[in-house]
Amino acid sequence: RGGTGMEGSGDASRAVADWRLAVWTLCSVLLPVLITAWCSFQRSRRQLLIRDIFRKSKHDWHYTDLFGQPSYCCVCAQHILRGAFCGCCGLRVSERCLKKADQRFLCKEIMMRGAGGAPSSMPHHWIRGNVPLCSCCMVCKQQCGTQPKLCDYRCVWCQYTVHDECMVDCLRTEDCTFGEFKDLIIPPYYLSTINQMRKEKRTNYEKVVPYGRKHWMPVIVLANTRSGNNMGETLLGEFKMLLNPVQVFDLSKIAPAKALQLCTLLPCNAVRVLVCGGDGTVGWVLDAIDEMKIKGQERYIPQVAILPLGTGNDLSNTLGWGAGYAGEVPVEQILRNVMEADGIKLDRWKVQVTNKGYYNLRKPKVFTMNNYFSIGPDALMALNFHAHREKTPSLFSSRIINKAVYFFYGTKDCLVQECKDLNKKVELELDGERIELPNLEGIIVLNIGYWGGGCRLWEGMGDEPYPLARHDDGLLEVVGVHGSFHCAQIQVKLANPVRLGQAHTVRLILKSSKMPMQVDGEPWAQGPCTVTITHKTHALMLYHSGEQTDDDASSLSE
């Protein structure tokens, strides 16, 4: 009996030990899961609170996991690696101080709301800490922001900086001059005056000029955040920091036609528009400007400058703004270039495509051309590229990748030759005179000097005499190419194009089969038709003479 009792107590203790082991095993598994779930819940709750603050705030808050320079919270003055920053006024704050900062600090006011009449000036708007690197004090001319703490002040309008010890009461109440870019900025008090005039039903806005502005040329920035190398988001924030946020528009959220209505509140023939995007974005903006002419707003038509963010950027290259922008030039220098640029005209052309057939009742397709029209291998490359991008748009976020895909399809066409014997399929008329075509695979009609991402097609190798080509003379240049390989030879200056002539009106008849066509990079497959290209209008553009292309540099060295 004693033995049986001992065996029973041993079994009971083993059972208890097994239960304890099971409980501890369960705890060791469940505890990390519960902690992870709790942390995830808290994180999502915190993100919802932050998103709610962002949505309701007058600041343009953005969250970052790592600041690009040493930063300090504007509330608790602690050093922070991540947190929120305002894209308009430049405030930086830690996550836990975000709500306090949102309540305590005012952002840039796009329009002053004061009692009484409309003001004619405004004081500095100082923000403490996180001043730009290498900035100098406006009082003692020494470098600011050198101490590893929250120190010194910056005005969000004129961008002047002041040491803590140099800040005196008179500076806090002194009128802001708006700094270097005063001729480009729309002051908040100007918009207050215009608002007051609209209430009084007065429309003579041209008589209102901000104090101290002899050559006021307010700029409107239109940025396409989906263009080329996806730099639009960064540029939007940088321009909002330097200008009035009301001057900066994201074209993915607002159409150009609506954004350009701001021109009607500004002096006539004074506004400049900076388009940040590719040639397609520029064409979109120029179409919106044409709509302004139809509405009877011709006296408010702005001049257009370009910051090239697209893949080809041939129009930008022609007007001296370069073949592409990747952040190598500071935004301040871009604004200086806009101020110094000269006004010129750009021809715009109407491309009408009329389908053939006895029972064709559809209206002709009508396009507006700024750069070029083509039929043949380059249009085929653009069509294949466009189809590929429509399927997988996420792959085409880099200018280098885009050009690599173009190269792939160009190499493929060299082998397949889908556009051969084009001269047997089309008829070409220049100003009503029929042109005898040699053996060709493609025909390109040019309005500007550059084509195919930086190639001066009309000039070729430059070893043959050819008539001068301009983008404002009302003439089109028409060339032929023997295929994709011939296009590549022309681009590296190893061959000349087949120059077919210059004309005021171009007519092309596609007699049979389906061929790829494109207008300014917008491709499609076209059946038998008649294509007629005639002059439509002029666009007012800005030419920057300081930019030098690779072709220009090589010709100078030669």
pLDDT at 351: 95
pLDDT at 286: 95
Average pLDDT, rounded, for the chain:
84
Report pLDDT digits (tens) over 162-218: 999 988 877 888 889 899 999 999 999 888 888 888 888 777 766 676 655 678 899
Q: Longest C-alpha distance within the chain, in Å?
A: 125
pLDDT at 407: 62
pLDDT at 508: 94
Backbone angles phi, psi at 349, to 5 degrees: -120, 150
Q: Which helix (H) or strand (E) holds 488?
A: helix 484-491
Alpha helices in 168-318 (DSSP H): 169-173, 188-199, 232-242, 256-259, 279-294, 314-318
Mean pLDDT of all residues in 117-123: 72
Mean pLDDT of all residues in 328-351: 94
Residue type at 388?
Answer: H
Q: Which of 163, 212, 148 is nearest to 185 (CA)?
A: 212
Q: Which of 358, 456, 376, 356 is nearest to 420 (CA)?
A: 376
Residue type at 200?
Answer: E
pLDDT at 553: 36
pLDDT at 554: 36
pLDDT at 54: 86
On whether the CB atoms of residues 158 and 178 are closer than 8 A, the answer is yes
Mean pLDDT of all residues in 337-352: 95
Distance between CA 200 and CA 520 in Å, rounded?
46
Q: Give residue 549's pLDDT band: very low, low, confident or very high (50, 70, 90).
A: very low
Q: Give residue 229's pLDDT band: very low, low, confident or very high (50, 70, 90).
A: low
pLDDT at 358: 58
Distance between CA 49 and CA 62 in Å, rounded?
14
Angstrom CA distances, 357 to 33, 361, 423, stand at 70, 9, 21
The 3-state DSSP class for residue 282 equals helix
Mean pLDDT of all residues in 95-102: 91
Mean pLDDT of all residues in 408-412: 56
One-character DSSP codes across 440-462: -SEEEEESSS-BTTTB-TTTTTS
Report pLDDT digits (tens) over 453-484: 778 888 877 777 888 888 999 999 999 998 88
In this predicted structure, the answer to whether residue 551 has a pLDDT above a threshold of 60 is no
Domains and CATH numbers, the chain: 56-104 (3.30.60.20), 217-340 (3.40.50.10330), 348-537 (2.60.200.40)
Mean pLDDT of all residues in 368-386: 86
Q: Which residue has the tokens 């006539």?
A: 268
Q: Which helix (H) or strand (E) holds 132?
A: none
Q: Which residue has the tokens 């089309």?
A: 426
Q: Give residue 404's pLDDT band: very low, low, confident or very high (50, 70, 90).
A: low
- Point out the least confidently predicted range of 202-206, 264-268, 277-281, 527-531: 202-206
pTM of the model: 0.84
Q: Which of the two residues, 263 and 20, has the higher pLDDT score?
A: 263
Q: Which of the two residues, 331 and 117, has the higher pLDDT score?
A: 331
Report pLDDT digits (tens) over 414-464: 545 677 788 889 999 999 999 999 999 899 999 998 888 778 888 877 777
On whether the CB atoms of residues 509 and 520 are closer than 8 A, the answer is no
Q: Give residue 328's pLDDT band: very low, low, confident or very high (50, 70, 90).
A: confident
Mean pLDDT of all residues in 540-545: 93
Angstrom CA distances, 163 to 55, 147, 467, stand at 34, 11, 61
- Point out the least confidently predicted range of 178-182, 343-347, 393-397, 479-483: 393-397
Angstrom CA distances, 462 to 457, 475, 479, 482, 492, stand at 10, 20, 15, 18, 12
Helix axes 377-391, 399-416, angle to 10 degrees: 130
- Point out the least confidently predicted range of 62-66, 325-329, 359-363: 359-363
Q: Which helix (H) or strand (E) holds 184?
A: none
Distance between CA 270 and CA 272 in Å, rounded?
7
Q: Give residue 353's pLDDT band: very low, low, confident or very high (50, 70, 90).
A: very high
pLDDT at 327: 83
